[in-house]
Amino acid sequence: MCTPGHGFNDDPGGVAAPAPDAGAPGPAADPKLIEDLVIANRILFREGVLDAFGHVSVRHDKDPNRFLCARNMAPGLVTADDIVEFGIDGEPVNARGRAVYLERFIHSEIYRARPDVMSVIHSHSMAVIPFGLVKSYPFRAVTHMGSFIGTCAPVFEIRDVVGEDNDLLISSPKLGAALAQCLGESTVVLMRGHGSTAVGNSLKQAVFRAVYTEQNARVLSEALRIGPVTALSEGETVTATRTIDGQSTRAWDLWRLRAEGKV
């Protein structure tokens, strides 16, 4: 079966459609948290995790049932004025007519399912995607910096939730909840034909994990071209993660300066 591609789109809304505000904003977030979220956007663009698409969010510091994320725009251009507050239902409270990300339910449903998660990053970074396509080969840690990935990252198959007639996007609370369930207690979930989503207990940890998820995927692909791969054992993933986990600030400080063009 072969069908031609489709170059038309008669849907005037599409991914940039504004969502009405649902509820009122709560207490203002710490300005430092908003500043760090802006920096995270810039870092993830500069390090090749996000391009014109993808998004990073952080749980609100005053209300665990809210989170902060940019309006619908390219992450590399985000400023503090672009940060919007969302409820745990994934709907904005102060977008004021500005378009928001269609896939915001990735964030809302993971925050709902995982109280330990303080930051969520959804990426289409290229090196990870093949491992969501080849389901017979597990995506796993092969470098110490990628040890947090563990020995088998879950792969989300959207067809299992809504069948073949889907656009691959996590555009509803139902799909977000299914993705969160697939993520389980893991640090990263692959999304077949789409990308991946990484989580952390802080913005800095999530950024660290998103960058090294992409790097681990590049290394693994290169190794597979050479020969059989010796991956980290389960014990090595646990021990290396424990050792390296405290290092995310060192990476953040460097990546921030690079994103700002200072190094």
For the annotated catalytic residues, the residue numbers are 103
> Residue 25, CB half-sphere, CA atoms under 13 Å: how many?
11
Strand positions, DSSP E, the chain: 55-59, 66-70, 83-87, 119-123, 155-156, 188-191, 195-200
Buried-state track 39-55, b at ≥16 Cβ within 10 A, e below 16: bbbbbbbbbebbeeebb
Residues in Cβ contact with 230 at an 8 Å cutoff, skipping those fewer than 6 apart: 142
Q: Which residue pairs, CB below 8 angstroms and at least 24 apart, start in 8-17?
A: 15/72, 15/101, 15/102, 15/169, 16/72, 16/99, 17/99, 17/102
- State which amino acid sits at residue 182: C
87 vs 76: CA distance, rounded Å: 24
The number of beta carbons lying within 10 Å of the beta carbon of residue 193 is 12
